A and B are shown apart, each in its own frame.
Chain A
């Protein structure tokens, strides 16, 4: 178990959200897609340019840019 940010998770790995660092509009967006503390996230696939990255969040596939995913603290197993 170690702390990291979501952007550092590699393809195929799963992590659990421990804290949201973002504020304002981005924080609201994250909450809208059900990304709250304790949510499991699987990193699915990088885009051709390496960024954004597609994640599996509560059954939906959502792409996030590294600026935003670096604001999500996660616990990896």
Chain B
């Protein structure tokens, strides 16, 4: 879900790197899912959210680290398998290593899968020699009886190699000490150079001198020469931006390049063949290095994972277990949130009465009491009472599943259906991120390489309710549908209904994805590779602390910041009278016919409109608006809420339609801004706004119409 201040707040919108150049800069590179973010967090104390699925870091995060009294800036690059820039992430990582001028690059590797990770290490040392390799997850490797000879590895690579277990902080001091000496130059690296087939080496030698003259030591000329031979347009574009001129326009380079190309052509090495040999050069080098320094003491080291996979991705049990797990998370959330919600609302409303007493004692004017207590405080109290408990339970639970490595299995199980919708299976991951926050889900869509499939994932992300909408759904379900059952049956019914609503959202995701593929985003599914990382035991204590402080309080803070002014606005609207009726009543009356058409009413629509900055405040606004219009003045009990709603004409149809509209309407303002930023297009932002909205209007309208037609609702 990746829900942090970086990924949901301004950070999601502004990912440009502005680095304080006063301190030395260390870049953290690595394959996805190797614990890079954990290394980053342990060093900087900044809580970049970590999870056990590939593609976690979606923006460049940076933090400060102090070692021996010197301050360093650490930049967490997106996880990539290579620097050949096949995706935005790789481009960002590569450009930072090349042009961000880091004083050192730490490449974090997964000890349990070292060979594949060495690809990136080798590609990095082709660009710069200020590299330190961090072999992370040594503890996991030990469990799997994989032994790594770090000294030998360091000798083969020609750069320092430090073993770490970042989750426990082991080895990190050593890592930083080594990095420091590399930056200071007290230790010089002599990185291994990758030898390509002799024809390619000859061609490189033909081009390199002319490149070297132009670059003047600013970039590794051997590497740039290679990239000119196997033209990497995105890199050449970045080089052009960086230096202000196009390398290909230099006559000397042009001539040399032409000669080299002709030579290679004569040798029969062109196009895919050339690319293959270059990649093979790196892959085989990685293989050679690994054979030399990694020992598998137990060849069946991954047996336990395969056994778990057998159950979690089985033909018969895979999908049922997925739904059961989802339901279990909801059940724990609903039952667990009940009591604290009650307690909070009792406490907060007791305090409201004290505030009222205080205002009376102060002889404060009635309007001031109205604006501050009945307006602002009351909405705030509702937001906290209704939102905080479910969030504080849901987030840690979901984070546990994430840390465990379960989410990629969800993508694996669901890919077939995404393929049917002509979309990408990784959309399952961005969908899961959407449960936390849709804005984070949108940023997460960067893990999808095909622009067409990425747009589909962006437009449909809003069909999974973010945690700002969960409590709305839970509140309505418990009031209108589960209330008639007693005891434990009540929470089970709530769970089943909520799971049903979520499954409907997922179904709509498939349906709308398919429709988009058939209309405005025509195309065939592109290629797909999905890594299923090893399962890891989550650190339960850390998960709880992190999800409460990182996510729950952050999201709640945002909701509160929006709720306070909204409370004032709605109170003013309810208490400013024009022509005998309040402004609120005028607006509600204006929207009422349309609201009724959709099975709701004008007040509910206003609440959704005012809830544009944050979905969390929709229910509190509805309550406020009804209370201001005066049928019940005091609610001192959570369940009295239903009476208030019923007194304002709510029926089961209103409840159903409000839930459905909450599931399917425009994305919140943060999400819209994020979509604008990610797509760089007003048109797609508008479409992302309209698609769920129109879907919601159609669905609610149809249900309301059918219910009335059959006479089962008024």
Give the B-binding residues of A (Cβ under 8 A): 20, 22-23, 25-34, 36-37, 39, 44-52, 54, 56-65, 67-68
Give complex CA distance A57, B287 in Å. Answer: 12
Query: Which of the residues B276, B419, B525 comes within 8 Å of A36, measured between beta carbons?
Result: B276
Interface of B is mostly: helix
A36 to chain B, nearest CB (A): 5
Q: Which residues from 287 to 334 on chain B have a C-beta closer than 8 Å to any C-beta of chain A?
A: 287, 302, 305-306, 309-310, 313-316, 318-319
Interface residue? B496 (CB, 8 A): no
Interface residue? B463 (CB, 8 A): no
With a cutoff of 8 Å between Cβ atoms, the chain A residues found around residue B114 in the complex are: 59
Query: Which of the residues B113, B417, B449, B528 comes within 8 Å of A59, measured between beta carbons?
Result: B113
Give complex CA distance A51, B113 in Å. Answer: 25
Q: A25-B449, A32-B119, A59-B115 are in contact. Are A65 and B527 (CB under 8 A)?
A: yes
With a cutoff of 8 Å between Cβ atoms, the chain A residues found around residue B425 in the complex are: 52, 63
Chain A binder among B80-88, B168-176, B363-371: B80-88
Give complex CA distance A57, B319 in Å. Answer: 25
Chain A binder among B252-260, B278-286, B341-349, B431-439: B278-286
Besides A31-B276, A33-B81, 20 other A-B contacts (C-beta < 8 A): A22-B527, A23-B272, A25-B449, A36-B283, A44-B306, A44-B309, A45-B310, A48-B313, A48-B316, A48-B319, A48-B413, A49-B416, A52-B416, A58-B287, A60-B116, A61-B302, A62-B530, A63-B532, A64-B529, A65-B525
Interface residue? B526 (CB, 8 A): yes
With a cutoff of 8 Å between Cβ atoms, the chain A residues found around residue B283 in the complex are: 31, 34, 36, 39
Taking CB as reference atom, which chain B residue is nearest A56? B302
Give complex CA distance A71, B525 in Å. Answer: 15
Is A62's CB under 8 angstroms from B527's CB? no
Is A45's CB under 8 angstroms from B313's CB? yes
Is B528's CB under 8 angstroms from A28's CB? no
Query: Which of the residues B86, B116, B318, B532 comes within 8 Å of A29, measured between beta carbons?
Result: B86
Query: When each residue 387-430 of chain B gets 1 if its CB lies under 8 Å from chain A and 0 otherwise, what string results?
Result: 00000000000000000000000001101110100000100000
Interface residue? B149 (CB, 8 A): no
With a cutoff of 8 Å between Cβ atoms, the chain B residues found around residue A59 in the complex are: 112-116
With a cutoff of 8 Å between Cβ atoms, the chain B residues found around residue A47 in the complex are: 313, 318, 412-413, 415-416
Give complex CA distance A56, B305 in Å. Answer: 12
Give complex CA distance A44, B82 in Å. Answer: 25
B322 to chain A, nearest CB (A): 9
Is A51's CB under 8 angstroms from B112's CB? no
Interface residue? B187 (CB, 8 A): no
Give complex CA distance A56, B112 in Å. Answer: 13
Interface residue? B531 (CB, 8 A): yes
Is B313's CB under 8 angstroms from A58's CB? no
Give complex CA distance A50, B119 in Å. Answer: 31
Taking CB as reference atom, which chain A residue is nearest B277? A36
With a cutoff of 8 Å between Cβ atoms, the chain A residues found around residue B188 in the complex are: none
Give the A-binding residues of B (Cβ under 8 A): 81-82, 84, 86, 112-116, 119, 272, 275-276, 279-280, 283-284, 286-287, 302, 305-306, 309-310, 313-316, 318-319, 412-413, 415-417, 419, 425, 449, 525-534
Taking CB as reference atom, which chain A residue is nearest B286? A34
Give complex CA distance A62, B534 in Å. Answer: 11
Q: A44-B309, A46-B315 are in contact. Are A63 and B530 (CB under 8 A)?
A: yes
Taking CB as reference atom, which chain A residue is nearest B90? A32
With a cutoff of 8 Å between Cβ atoms, the chain A residues found around residue B315 in the complex are: 46, 48, 50
Give complex CA distance A59, B276 in Å. Answer: 21
Query: Which of the residues A20, A56, A65 comes within 8 Å of B528, measured between beta carbons?
Result: A65
Q: A45-B309, A47-B412, A64-B528 are in contact. Are A34 and B119 (CB under 8 A)?
A: yes
Query: Which of the residues A20, A28, A52 comes within 8 Å of B415, measured between beta carbons?
Result: A52
Give complex CA distance A26, B531 in Å. Answer: 15
B299 to chain A, nearest CB (A): 12
B219 to chain A, nearest CB (A): 22
With a cutoff of 8 Å between Cβ atoms, the chain A residues found around residue B113 in the complex are: 58-60
Most A CB contacts (10 A, CB to CB) among B280, B413, B526, B527 go to B527
Is A62's CB under 8 angstroms from B115's CB? no
With a cutoff of 8 Å between Cβ atoms, the chain B residues found around residue A33 in the complex are: 81, 116, 529
Give complex CA distance A56, B570 in Å. Answer: 58
Most A CB contacts (10 A, CB to CB) among B112, B276, B284 go to B276
Give complex CA distance A56, B534 in Å. Answer: 12
Give complex CA distance A56, B299 in Å. Answer: 13
Give complex CA distance A48, B287 in Å. Answer: 33
Give complex CA distance A76, B415 in Å. Answer: 27
Give complex CA distance A26, B275 in Å. Answer: 13
Most A CB contacts (10 A, CB to CB) among B313, B412, B526 go to B412
Is B413's CB under 8 angstroms from A68's CB? no
Give complex CA distance A4, B310 in Å. Answer: 26
Is A65's CB under 8 angstroms from B415's CB? yes
With a cutoff of 8 Å between Cβ atoms, the chain A residues found around residue B286 in the complex are: 34
